[in-house]
């Protein structure tokens, strides 16, 4: 399994421009049950697309996997690739969610950004998605999110 992975256990070059191709998956050996995987990165950075000022955030990803899991080092490299990207906070969580849905096809996923205060305002966008039996759960979770 690890032979197919390009980054795990190897020295990896960081790319500071959006690079979703770095994301890798590993098999979920527990696909027979529902369980959550929670991933948190408190070192996320991007830049404001208008001013070029840096934005800092904690990104929280929680998902119920199906057949695949995201390999964590590739996720770290992927999140780092936003460093020089001019992108609005709301677009960040949607792009991360879309990219993870594309490679994982999870039963359920949510992505939340906790962006540091800039200009007196903090922005905390949340996006989620559920399929099959988790579609209704996703709708309820979104409406209950405060």
Question: What pLDDT is attached to residue 2?
Answer: 52
Catalytic residue among 17, 42, 46, 55: 55
Catalytic residue among 48, 66, 98, 99: 48
Chain mean pLDDT for the chain: 93
The answer on pLDDT for 142 being more than 70 is yes
The answer on pLDDT for 131 being more than 80 is yes
For residue range 75-128, list pLDDT tens digits in order: 999 999 999 999 999 999 999 999 999 999 999 999 999 999 988 999 999 999
Q: Is residue 99 annotated as part of the catalytic site, yes or no?
A: no
Between 10 and 17, the higher pLDDT residue? 17
Contact, 22 vs 74, CB < 8 A? yes
74 DSSP 8-state letter: H
Residues 6+ apart with CB under 8 A from 14: 77, 80, 81
Report how far residue 134's alpha carbon sits from residue 21's, in angstroms, rounded to the nearest whole number: 27
What percent of the chain is modeled with pLDDT above 90?
86
Contact, 105 vs 68, CB < 8 A? yes
* Backbone dihedral region for residue 69 (phi beyond 0: left; psi -120 to 50: alpha; all else: beta): beta
Question: What pLDDT is attached to residue 23?
Answer: 97
The answer on pLDDT for 68 being more than 80 is yes
Q: Is residue 48 annotated as part of the catalytic site, yes or no?
A: yes
Average pLDDT over residues 33-45: 97
The answer on pLDDT for 44 being more than 70 is yes
Question: What pLDDT is attached to residue 15?
Answer: 77
Question: What pLDDT is attached to residue 3?
Answer: 57
């Amino acid at each position: 399994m690890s032979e197919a992975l390009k980054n795990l256990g190897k020295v990896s070059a960081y790319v500071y421009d959006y690079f979703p191709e770095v994301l890798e998956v590993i098999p979920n050996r527990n696909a027979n049950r529902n369980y959550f995987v929670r991933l948190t990165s408190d070192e996320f950075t991007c830049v404001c697309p208008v001013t070029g000022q840096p934005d800092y955030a904690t990104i929280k990803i929680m998902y119920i996997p199906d057949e695949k899991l995201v390999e964590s080092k590739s996720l770290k490299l992927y999140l780092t690739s936003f460093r020089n990207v001019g992108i609005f906070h709301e677009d960040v969580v949607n792009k991360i969610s879309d990219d993870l849905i594309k490679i994982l096809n999870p039963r359920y996923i949510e992505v939340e950004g906790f962006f540091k205060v800039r200009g007196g305002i903090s922005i905390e966008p949340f996006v989620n998605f559920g399929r099959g039996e988790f579609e209704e759960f996703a709708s309820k979770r979104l409406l209950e999110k405060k």
